[in-house]
Structure 1
């Protein structure tokens, strides 16, 4: 927070750009990363495509592609104000949790396919050994995610309580 305790929009946007760069370094596409970080850092967590275009100095087409990508990954949702024809893109408070829990469901699908590969890889083969290790890792992650989910729900309640205090 700024020295005055007030929001410093310029600093927030600067750090949002830095966060976007970190996301790009971890494999995100640049414009979706910038749009995501900008919405995340916005005062309301809600922005129109026009607001994003203006703030990011990006074309409407670039913003359209970026928000479409965020919607597909469910990192943002689309809402509309009653009586308005403009879409508003929203980053929900619990988007990280929701994103991780969706990935948890993907792990189950991965496990099912790995089991099929393993069963057909040839008993005792190097391929089967690698697949068995992969399956073991995925099963381990599944078990850990369950505990993480329970701990997060408790921690989120603490964070919410801190924000109200």
Structure 2
């Protein structure tokens, strides 16, 4: 990847701030944004150079991003360095992370509701109901996404008289 221009820097910094607001790290967001723009595997060393941060910080944040299924290792034939790309599962992987997190939260609430002293708690019941509702809403999103992204069959060619061939 070539050096970054002003537009790329703005995007990368915006993503870093977004990640930070979401409870992640700014450098993690910057790495993710850089890999989104790269279109090719980048080594730890190259990421550090482009972002002007330490290799140790890149390594730490790449591990965290990999644990969240945001990035994944990639290999470059003939090169022994560690390379990374955006996770191949793409946005469906992000949806699974949300679903897994929601399911874990729902289990905690459901377990608490089985305890007699907590069974009548309005907040726990509401949280549990919300989780059920949200999971039902999420269930079809991946399928609709795949359908929207599926290649469409080519349209028949039209003649100069407006007829299809």
What range is the shorter-chain TM-score in? 0.7 to 0.9
Residue 3 of structure 1 corresponds to which residue in structure 2? none
CA shift for structure 1 position 122? 2.5
Residue 96 of structure 1 corresponds to which residue in structure 2? 91
Superposition RMSD in Å = 2.5
| Residues in 2 aligned to 1:33 and 1:23: alpha-carbon distance in whole angstroms | 5
- For residues 53-108 of structure 1, what are the alpha-carbon distances to aligned partners after superposition, in whole Å with 9 as ceiling and x for unaligned? 11111111111111111111110001222332111111036422212113313433
Contact 2:68 2:97 in 1 (8 A): no
| Residues in 1 aligned to 2:9 and 2:88: alpha-carbon distance in whole angstroms | 19
Match of 1:54 among 49, 53, 60: 49
CA shift for structure 1 position 141? 0.9
More helix by share: 1
Contact 2:16 2:29 in 1 (8 A): yes
Match of 2:135 among 142, 146, 162: 142
Contact 2:19 2:28 in 1 (8 A): no
| Residues in 1 aligned to 2:102 and 2:17: alpha-carbon distance in whole angstroms | 27
Tell me how many residue pairs correspond in the alignment. 151
| Residues in 2 aligned to 1:39 and 1:124: alpha-carbon distance in whole angstroms | 47
Q: Which runs of 5+ in 2 are unaligned?
A: 155-165
Rg larger in 1 or in 2?
Answer: 2
Contact 2:12 2:29 in 1 (8 A): no
Partner-residue secondary structure (3-state), 1:86: strand
Q: Which runs of 5+ in 1 are unaligned?
A: 1-7
